[in-house]
Amino acid sequence: MNDNENDYHDEAEEIRAATAADAPELAEHDRVAELEKALEEANSKALYAAAEQQNTRRRLEKEMADARSYAAAGFARDMLAIKDHIDRALAAVSDELRADATAANFLAGIEATARELESVFARNGVERVASKGLPLDPHRHQAMIEIPSDEEPGTVIEEMQAGYVMKDRLLRPALVGVAKKP
């Protein structure tokens, strides 16, 4: 071997020795990087799980609040039929029957029952849907017929059955007649 080759050989041996000495440091550095990456992933998963838990808790709290607020909705919907019957009975009473003393006392009891039912509805957030003279609202009205009229087309001009809401939920749509061009 000549001197140049010996120099290259010696230089290569020095590089190998230096690399071998640095190898544990590189391996340790790679291990630290892997552990940091694993820690970051674990933190990310923990944050995601905490956020998911908080979202679930909020959703359940809202569902519980809704259940409390609207628990009586089914009962209120059933009571609407009774209110309709009382209203129809009172509307069917003639003036001469109202003049009769015996019938007047009987009617006073029915009217008191109707007022009490309205009072119970009001305390529980059950309100009548406004209809007549308003534009048709498909979220609150159900159009049953179109009636030729001079009114603006789409305006409610007749209410066949009252609609009701409980707080912000529709219990029953109002059955209405809507104006159309003659």
pLDDT score for 20: 59
109 versus 9: the higher-pLDDT residue is 109
- E strands, the chain, in order: 126-128, 141-148, 156-161, 164-166, 169-172, 174-180
Q: Distance of CA 125 to CAs 12, 68, 92, 141, Å?
A: 90, 13, 28, 19
Q: Is the pLDDT of residue 16 over 90?
A: no
CA torsion 48-51-56-60 (nearest 10°) is: 180
Give the Cα separation of 23 and 103 in Å (integer): 108
For the segment 129-140, the average pLDDT, to the nearest whole number, is: 94
For the segment 147-175, the average pLDDT, to the nearest whole number, is: 93
Distance of CA 65 to the CA centre of its chain: 11
For the segment 74-81, the average pLDDT, to the nearest whole number, is: 90
139 versus 24: the higher-pLDDT residue is 139
Q: What is the pLDDT of residues 86-119, one digit of tens each?
A: 999 999 998 888 888 888 888 999 999 999 999 9
Cβ 70 vs Cβ 167: under 8 Å: yes
pTM (predicted TM-score): 0.63
- E strands, 24-140, in order: 126-128
Average pLDDT over all residues of the chain: 88
Q: Is the pLDDT of residue 179 over 70?
A: yes
| Structure-block tokens of residue 24 | 């544990």
- E strands, 24-109, in order: none
